[in-house]
Amino acid sequence: MEKKRESYLTRPFLVMSVMNFLVYSIFYLLMMVVAPFSMDILHSEPWVAGLAAGCFLLAAMVGRLFTGRYIEEIGKRRLLLWGTIGYILVMPLYYFVDSAPFFVGLRLLHGIGLGVSSSAITTIVVNILPRSRQGEGLSAFTLSAMVAMAVGPMIGIMLYHQLGFTAILHICMGQSLLLLISLFAFSIPDLPVAPENLKKFGSGFRGLFEKSALPISFVGTLMFLAYSGLSGFMAAYARQIHMTEAGGLFFVVYSIVIIVSRPPMGRLYDRWGQRVVVPTYFAFALGLLLLSRAETSLVFLLSAVFIGFGFGNFNTLARAIAVRPLPNYKWGIASSTYLAISEVGSGLGPFLQGIFLPYLGYRNLYLSLAMVTLLAFALYVRSYGPEIMKKPGNE
């Protein structure tokens, strides 16, 4: 008889999932309209709009690196409080944006708050998950961000075109208030690390990274760079090809696919290992190809199905790969290493794409990003070839 597995659906897990939803809901509401707002209202050039979108994620990278390195020394609960309160306090300043430089600076501050708070939440979750169910548990936890991704872009795009940027800020302020209430209404586990284990972290710049997590992190950089073409320019692309309604539904379809596919993919990863990740690259590339050629709403939304299965599952499974071989006191720094380095692609992507967009156009831009996804797969095979071929049970 099969031994009963430990449950990961504990009270702390559910509390952290709610907070993660609120943090990312604010992020996605704003992310989808930053570039259009910068071009339409602030009259910025496309590369400046891309910078406004991308600098947020570069700042989040800095916040993640700081959190991953020092969260065990400062304390998980304390760093979560600092990061989340900082994330909330920046929100009212958006009402006073009147120039592109101020907007970019504000996005930098907001990004640091996201990096610290989301990394602290993830570190707590990774530490409370049973090791035997990490893939499944992380897949379930990240559904909170996926629900935010389903709601945020749809509401953001619709409200921006109908009521303007201020209406979006009102909703974000309401969510910030709920996040603040959640932060103090529930008991947050601190999970301290033994002093002798704290001495095993490196010092200086190298101490910010977990070496074993670097290969999958660099693969993630390319995957996030490809995905950033969606988060940065989807609203503008949908408007140009006269598919605004489909653009609003894109991330709904994307998120539904992830919600349905992530739990079974997590279980398959726990059983079969890294070979499970292979199909995600090809699904993502196919989705970007379909998006670049879409002439109808059906094809446009079909691309969301493949992108959801591809990038949506890659992101969770890659995080599990980053922490899998390590003792639990290093899970925080490994997770932050993956998130920080991979999201360099999200930060640089909109800026670089904004430079090339006038020459390539949206369709060829998305076709180029499909090629970037295949390059990521080649790097994955080069880095993890033996692990991909390893039979289940041989770990």
**Domain CATH code at residue 285:** 1.20.1250.20
Q: Give alpha helix (H) positions in 273-392.
A: 278-293, 297-323, 331-389
Q: What is the DSSP string of 147-210?
A: HHHHHHHHHHHHHHHHT-HHHHHHHHHHHHHHHHHHHHHSPPP--PPPHHHHTTS--TGGGGS-
Establish if 216 belongs to a structural domain. yes
Establish if 142 belongs to a structural domain. yes
pLDDT at 391 over 70: no
Lowest pLDDT segment from 167-181, 249-263, 340-354 = 340-354
pLDDT at 9 over 80: no
Establish if 72 belongs to a structural domain. yes
Establish if 5 belongs to a structural domain. no
Place of tokens 């893939």: 135
Q: Within a 13 Å sphere around the CA of 176, how many CA atoms are in the beta-carbon half? A: 23
Q: Which is it for the CA torsion 369, 62, 66, 188, positive or negative?
A: negative
pLDDT at 25 over 60: yes
Q: pLDDT at position 18, please?
A: 86
Res. 1 pLDDT band, cuts 50 70 90: very low
Establish if 1 belongs to a structural domain. no
Establish if 6 belongs to a structural domain. no
pLDDT at 356 over 90: no
Res. 280 pLDDT band, cuts 50 70 90: very high
Say if CB 348 and CB 341 are below 8 A apart.
Answer: no
pLDDT tens digit sequence for 167-194 = 888 888 999 999 888 888 777 666 565 5
Q: What is the pTM of this model?
A: 0.71
Average pLDDT over residues 60-65: 79
Domains held by the chain: number: 1
What residue numbers bound the domain in which 213 lies?
11-384
Buried b (16+ CB within 10 A) or exposed e, 210-222: bebbbbbbbbbbb
Establish if 43 belongs to a structural domain. yes
Establish if 263 belongs to a structural domain. yes
